[in-house]
Structures are given as C-alpha cells and as structure tokens.
Amino acid sequence: MNITKGGVCAAKGFKASGVYAGVKDNPTGKFDLALVASDIPADTAAVFTKNKVKAAPVLVSIDNLKKTGGIINAVILNSKNANACVHDGIETAKAMCKATAEKLKIDTEKVLVCSTGVIGQSLPIDKITAAVPTLIGKLSENGNADAATAIMTTDTFKKEYAVEFTLDGKACRIGGMAKGSGMIAPNMATTLNVITSDVKISPDLLRTALSDVTEKTYNCLYIDGDMSTNDTIILMANGLAANKFIDSVNADYESFKNALFEVMKNLTIMLAKDGEGASKLLTANVTGAPSFEVGKTVAKSIIGSDLLKCAMFGEDANWGRILCAIGYAPADIEISPIEVSLASKRGEIAVCKNGEGLNFSEETAADILSEYEIEINVNLHQGSESATAWGCDLTYDYVKINGDYRS
C-alpha cells in the first residue's frame, strides 16, 4: 500500500469541484460549495450523526440512500450554513439535490447532500442553485483540492488523503476529504467526509467495512465534547478498478478494509490536529485492555478530559488528571496495575506505575511536552487488546473562536 495524490479524485472515474456561491460573506470569494461525482453509479455506504437533532441534509441523504438502495452518483456539499433547525430545511436540501441532478442528467435521489456551518439560519438556496452549473462545469479529475477547500469552516487547512494498493493484480485506490475543527465528540465530529474508491465490492461488505473502520477512527476522535447535527461520512465505490468482485470476507476484503482504515485514520488525525485553537496533537494509546471497547472507552476518556487538555497546553505533566479520567471512564477496570508515561520525539518519561505516581524530573517532562505531538501511553495490564484515541489541547483561542462563531 502506498500513499498517492488526488484525494477524492484518486480513484478511477471520480471528479470533483469547488466554487464560491456566496453562502460565505467573504469578499475574497473563498469557496463554499463542493461537488464529488462518479462517472457511473456507485455503491454507497454512509454513517450519520447520532444526535437526535439531525440537520435536513442528513435526513434527505438517509432517505435518498433508502430510495436508491445505496446507488449514488454525486454528493453536493456546502459550508458556512448547516441547514439545521429551520422551517425550510428539507425543501432546501432537496432543491440542492434536484439542481445537481438536472444538470448531471440523473435521478434526483441519486444525489446526496451535506451542509456544515451555523445552525438555525435558512440556507440561501437561490445562490446555491445559481452556482450549480458552474460547479458542474468545473468538475475535473484534478478538482479534489477545490472541493476539500470548499467544505472548510473554521478549519485552518484542507484535509485529503489517498492510498493505492493491489487486488487481483489490479491497481486500486481509496481517497477521501474531510472537514472538521470543533464540535467533535463523542462519535464522529462536526465533520463532513466523502471517501471514494474504484474497488468492486458488494454493498453489504462496503457497509460493514465502513462501520467497522469508523469505530476505530472517527469514533475515537474527541475535540470538545459536543456532537454535531450534521456529521456525515459517505463512502462510494464504483468498481472501475475491475478487480475480482469481493463478495465474501477474504484476503481481498481485508486488504480493502486495511486501505480504508489507513485513509480514515489519517483523516482522523488531521481533524485532531486542526481542533479549534489547537496547539498540540494528543494521542492516547491504551494497551493491556480486556477488550477493544474497554481500551477505546479509556482512551477517549483521557483525550476528553478538559483538565488534561489544559495541562497539555501548559506543558504540565499533571499525570493525576490522566488517572482521574481513567477512573471515571465507564469501563470495568482495576486501577492498581496501571502504568502511564508521556512521550514525544524528545523522549518518553514514566509518571505512574501500579496506579501510583513516580518520582520524575519535571524539567525533563516539560521538555517532552514542549513538542507539538504528544503521546499519552497507558498500560492497563488487564488483557491483550489495545485502542487509540486522538484529540488536541484546549487553548485560549478555542474560546475566542467559539465566542464569535456567527460573526
């Protein structure tokens, strides 16, 4: 498996574009409308927010997937406005699908729709529909960067990742784009994600792979404890790589799933790096767990601790906050065997053994924590399973960004 270029356009038969439609009040014309399209209908799986308040685009996309049996041609996405909790939300989301479908000459139900941004404001649909012809006219095999830029809100950089691997002697690719910076937890994020592949795989296995990999990637991401109304991951596979059809859990399926994991893991890490106001990427590695679920629960509890996030921002090796977060994690574990260390490229230092603190050099610990990427390593000594969660520190800028988010 190798990293390759192209993001959502890396796989055969996929094109993308991004334009400025005027949803963002931005005199520089920063892109705010994106499109990803397959040359042929693609089998599509998706994961959506678990929030009881679901934005209109989520509801429309769920309905379209049911109507088509998961056969989709395109995804249209906008930033700046979530199209959530407004009286005309469903009508607007359907209008975005219809405008796209008419220009692509496909059924309206074969278009999915995603929105991100401020909740509770009507989407200026006239601006979007007016921009759709230009958006479709710009569709290109090199349009991935424009699309990835168009879905950004408070993101500070575009997020793309793609890999190439071989199945049945055929070159296959999986590539994706993501957005997200805040309102990320406890499952997925304020995140829109489109992942494309040219692998020929059964719809059932496509759904299974996406569900399984989401649990070990996006659902192990924690920025600030809020869950969005718009979270969406869409995985499209058009089969144009012409590999032997994957219709059972075999070696080819595992290769596909591993490649999907690589893409989604790296997009997850990018989302963690770009947490609103973040100055450090935090990774919690939990080993010695009795099960993956217990390991994940503990890792996310650590990453989700606001007190620990503040300590990491201050480069303070306050390991007690780690033990505290482990202690209130909803998991059946013993505290007495636990070991904890802190690490970065400057080294690693043990701070806790057998559930108790160790004597360590505060100066050495501060030096280790001065790096951008910090690892919190925990060994529960209660099994053979492991899990990893990703997040970021909590800075002054987080409050500033969210204090005037609508401005």
Residues 6+ apart with CB under 8 A from 235: 44, 45, 46, 195, 196, 197, 206, 209, 210, 260
The Cα 309–Cα 221 span in angstroms is 14
Question: What is the 8-class DSSP label of residue 28?
Answer: T
The Cα 17–Cα 35 span in angstroms is 5
Sign of CA dihedral 390, 391, 392, 397: positive
The DSSP code sequence of 371-401 is: SSEEEEEEE--S-SEEEEEEEE---HHHHHH
Query: Tokens 């060994």 belong to which residue?
Result: 379
Sign of CA dihedral 391, 79, 18, 164: positive
Query: Tokens 């997020």 belong to which residue?
Result: 159
Are 329 and 319 a contacting pair, CB within 8 Å?
no
Is 190 considered catalytic here?
Answer: yes
Instruction: Single out the catalytic residue among 49, 92, 153, 190.
Output: 190
DSSP strands (E only) in 223-311: 232-237, 281-289
The residues carrying an active-site annotation are 190
